[in-house]
Structure 1
Amino acid sequence: MAILVTGGLGYIGSHTVVELLNNNFEVVIVDDLSNSEKFILKNIENITGRKPVFYPFDLKRRELLTQVFDAHSIDGCINFAASKAVGESQIKPVDYYENNLFSLINILQEFKERGLSNFIFSSSCTVYGQADTMPIDENTPLKMPESVYGKTKQMGEEILADFAKAYQRKICLLRYFNPIGAHPSFKIGELPMGIPNNLVPYVMQTAAGIREKLNVWGNDYPTPDGTAIRDYIYVVDLAKAHVAALQKLMQDTADGAVIDIYNLGTGKGSSVLEVIKAFEVANNVEVPYQICERREGDITIAYANVDKAERELGWKSETSLEESLKTVWEWQKYLNARNI
């Protein structure tokens, strides 16, 4: 079975490609390399012993996407292709709407015209906005997200739900919390371009001396230590959830539209300062930091209720925060050795 993985050389995409190959799926990757590097393709092959098909182009180029569908018998798609930096989305809103939504619509046009189903969407807990209660489950009311990035995810979900209902197709919306870590081979991991927008890669680069200090965006939140709280999930655990969700979709014989929605997290929140301390303890390094004003678009607290994913997918996160952070540091050592 051939699965189209868009953004498949990116952070979560590359880890999911590894898990798909390990589960005997054929994989076709489309990635424009705007937030990834070509060497990841070779590393995926080194990890799995199998080489996915790769096309380097922008999904907004519909004519090239059509050629991929003509060349391969696609049985499903996992769509990771999106710009993802919360802060950047606030200053480049039009770019985010164009990139994140036009590419999705192009894929769905191909699915519609070819009668295809089994579509998994890389969504985000940002669709909940600042939820009123914790933990967040799949029935928590959606709110208008604080960031443009979050808005594109919420719009993407709405587009897909309409697609499934109108054309009687099967889709799955996976709402991630905060992925961290690297593959245990340390050959793939998060590779931010320029200054990191997410906490853990910034911690990693600061510990390595690439950044002078880590910016902690606000210490006046209504949390125990004043810093924002998130649910940090190990990226390999997250990747395995995609395989479980895909298998469920493909095995579902129900007539009509199928719209599966799952939160993917650990069920536990950790503050920014707790993550910094855990990184220092796990890796015996120091991470200098400074407190800054709050960053526009950030929320106070978010962590998941993951009972539904465990019940319906037979999946749960198994890797601790400290274990995940150890892989982050080993990945940074790998990058240092390659002068990346």
Structure 2
Amino acid sequence: MTGGAGYIGTHVYIELLRAGFRPAILDNFSNSDPAVLGALEEITGQPVDCTRIDLRDGPALSAVLAQGRFAGVIHLAALKSVPESLLHPSAYVDNNLGGLVSLVRAMEAVGPRALVFSSSATVYGTPERLPIPEDAARGFTNPYGFTKLAAEQILEMVATADPRWAIGTLRYFNPAGAHSSGLIGEAPVESATNLFPAIARAALCRGAPLQLFGSDYPTRDGTAERDFIHVEDLAAGHVLSLRRLLDDGRGHRVNLGTGQGHTVLEVIRAYAAASGRDIPYRIAPRRPGDVARCVADPALAERLLGFRATRGLEAMCHSAWNALIRAEMPRQARARAAARPGWPAPLQRSLI
């Protein structure tokens, strides 16, 4: 699992173990903290198989895959900040597309050829209709979105050229929330530009008030509207996608969302209610590269994979706040507070 030590990757790792797989993590830790591996061990009660590697190092990557024990790959490793991509587009192309091409070459050389790819709703550009179905026109409004669209097109060409490939393309909408244990979640680091960690910083009174980018969008309260999906629901979608690839060898391309949109102001109010804190914010101009509304049509994912999001905005806010508070505790107190779930046995097929 590439990028497996990141926010989404850690939650996918746990779901894979629950499903009976034995996942291995590859990560260069450019956007994650090695300390998260200890949290994964606390949650699962098992050691974590992790290799520090940059995907663009082709020989090192091929050496890992050549171990020959992997049933499939879940590719999560990418830079993902829209504002950052506008400032450093070449870095996004180099990392997101360079890493993908290196991975595909290694998989072509030594296998496997089952791949779950982390895509994004940004491939829809400015949506022509809502909710957005998978056959909607594709486009992009920022360099990050360009890299996801280009990656999808590369993988489509790869699958057309070689029918041995089975590729599941998962178009994420807006992941939010944290694991039910409270031991992992999305850290409210200063550089994070996603809405939930930015709200968390404001709730903790760290730095300036939350910037609300745009209040004149054509939405019910003037703020941008997004489809937020709980990260644990999102993680479960990866397991369903992988199983489908391994069971029938056929690729798919689906949205992972809820079909329900929430505006930025609605999220702020929900987070304030969950945390019991005031969320100070100020209105700022619209941010380049943002769209007014982006909501998924999740029907195809349910039909093909049996996927349905089960957690709403309230659960996202409560779990995110719980993880944030636990992160503020001393380590010993966190360990005593953590609820360790049970794990099914035996483990089966491996994947990276």
Aligned to 1:183, the other structure's residue is in SS state: coil
TM-score, normalised relative to structure 2 = 0.91
For residues 281 and 239 of structure 1, the distance between their equivalents in structure 2, rounded to whole angstroms, comes to 26
Q: Select which of 145, 153, 164 maps to 1:150.
A: 145
User: Which residue type is aligned with residue 134 of structure 2?
Assistant: E
User: Which residue type is aligned with residue 10 of structure 1?
Assistant: G
User: Which residue type is aligned with residue 166 of structure 1?
Assistant: A
Deviations 1:202-247 (A, max 9, x none): 0011101123300000101111111100000000000000000100
User: Which residue type is aligned with residue 186 of structure 1?
Assistant: G
Q: Would you say how many aligned residue pairs link Structure 1 and Structure 2?
A: 330
1:279 alignment counterpart: 271
Q: Select which of 180, 184, 187 maps to 1:184.
A: 180
For residues 85 and 192 of structure 1, the distance between their equivalents in structure 2, rounded to whole angstroms, comes to 14
Query: Residues 85 and 338 (structure 1 numbering): CA distance in 2 closer, same or farther, change over 3 Å?
Result: farther
Aligned to 2:292, the other structure's residue is in SS state: coil
- Deviation (angstroms), 1:72: 4.4
Matches within 5 A, 1:256-271: 258-271=250-263
Matches within 5 A, 1:124-273: 124-143=120-139, 145-168=140-163, 169-191=165-187, 193-253=189-249, 258-273=250-265
Matching of residue 323 in structure 1 with residue 315 in structure 2: yes
Is the CA contact (8 Å cut-off) linking 1:161 and 1:259 kept in structure 2? no
For residues 130 and 100 of structure 1, the distance between their equivalents in structure 2, rounded to whole angstroms, comes to 21
Query: Residues 114 and 70 (structure 1 numbering): CA distance in 2 closer, same or farther, change over 3 Å?
Result: closer
Is the CA contact (8 Å cut-off) linking 1:136 and 1:305 kept in structure 2? yes
Deviations 1:105-147 (A, max 9, x none): 111111111242210110000000111110001111112x111
CA RMSD of aligned residues (A): 1.3
User: Which residue type is aligned with residue 147 of structure 2?
Assistant: T
User: Which residue type is aligned with residue 323 of structure 1?
Assistant: A
For residues 20 and 239 of structure 1, the distance between their equivalents in structure 2, rounded to whole angstroms, comes to 8
Aligned to 1:6, the other structure's residue is in SS state: coil
2:102 alignment counterpart: 106
Matches within 5 A, 1:87-102: 87-102=83-98
- Deviation (angstroms), 1:70: 2.3
Query: Residues 72 and 46 (structure 1 numbering): CA distance in 2 closer, same or farther, change over 3 Å?
Result: farther
Is the CA contact (8 Å cut-off) linking 2:175 and 2:228 kept in structure 1? yes
Amino-acid identity (%): 40
Gaps of 5+ in 1: none
For residues 309 and 232 of structure 2, the distance between their equivalents in structure 1, rounded to whole angstroms, comes to 9
Q: Select which of 19, 22, 25 maps to 1:23.
A: 19
Q: Select which of 57, 63, 76 maps to 2:59.
A: 63
User: Which residue type is aligned with residue 242 of structure 2?
Assistant: L
- Deviation (angstroms), 1:195: 2.7
For residues 23 and 335 of structure 1, the distance between their equivalents in structure 2, rounded to whole angstroms, comes to 27
User: Which residue type is aligned with residue 277 of structure 1?
Assistant: R
- Deviation (angstroms), 1:52: 2.9
Is the CA contact (8 Å cut-off) linking 1:112 and 1:167 kept in structure 2? no
User: Which residue type is aligned with residue 312 of structure 2?
Assistant: S
- Deviation (angstroms), 1:338: 4.7
Is the CA contact (8 Å cut-off) linking 2:56 and 2:102 kept in structure 1? yes
Is the CA contact (8 Å cut-off) linking 1:22 and 1:48 kept in structure 2? no
Gaps of 5+ in 2: 332-352
For residues 151 and 66 of structure 2, the distance between their equivalents in structure 1, rounded to whole angstroms, comes to 25
Q: Select which of 2, 9, 12 maps to 2:8.
A: 12
TM-score, normalised relative to structure 1 = 0.94
Is the CA contact (8 Å cut-off) linking 2:65 and 2:111 kept in structure 1? no
For residues 260 and 324 of structure 1, the distance between their equivalents in structure 2, rounded to whole angstroms, comes to 27
User: Which residue type is aligned with residue 224 of structure 1?
Assistant: R
Deviations 1:53-102 (A, max 9, x none): 11112111112112211234121101010000000000000000000011
- Deviation (angstroms), 1:192: 5.2
- Deviation (angstroms), 1:193: 4.3
Runs ≥4 residues deviating over 4 A: none
Q: Which moved more, 1:43-52 or 1:122-131?
A: 43-52
For residues 192 and 123 of structure 1, the distance between their equivalents in structure 2, rounded to whole angstroms, comes to 23
For residues 151 and 326 of structure 2, the distance between their equivalents in structure 1, rounded to whole angstroms, comes to 35
